[in-house]
Amino acid sequence: MGLDAYGKVKSPEGEVKEIAYWRKHNALHGWMEKLYRKKGGIGDLNCVPLELVEADLEMLELVVDSAMLPETGGFFFGGDSRFCEHYQAQTLEFIRVAREYLAKGYEVAYDSWW
């Protein structure tokens, strides 16, 4: 058990594809939870896809580049992932690929299960 998170895209025809996977990247999840609430989400961000638009990706990129993801705890979330270079590179790659899909008319989402 633990925090599993996914970057997903959905084609205009409705086909869903996974483009990123993070295991226990709690800092990213904490940032996404804040975005979820800002967009009107209620309850936990768990098994609820969070649509990401270009402005969300821009902000996420700034936060990751600045090493400013929030410290986020949780029973199944593992140790602090804020300063892990692997997670930083993986998240920046997700942003790059997500932008390519947005340009093709796909929807982009973050999804998690814990």
Span 100-104, average pLDDT: 98
- For the segment 24-76, what is each residue's pLDDT rounded down to a tens digit? 898 999 999 999 999 999 999 999 999 999 999 999 999 999 988 878 766 56
Which residues, listed in sequence order, are joined to residue 82 by a DSSP beta bridge?
none
Residue type, 56: D
Q: Reading across the β-sheet that carries 50-52, which strands appear in turn?
A: 16-23, 4-10, 107-113, 50-52
Q: What is this structure's pTM?
A: 0.89
CA pair distance 67, 13, nearest whole angstrom: 36
pLDDT, one tens digit per residue, over 76-85 is 666 776 667 8
How far is C-alpha 50 from the chain's CA centre? 8
Please state the separation of Cα 26 from the chain's center in Å.
10
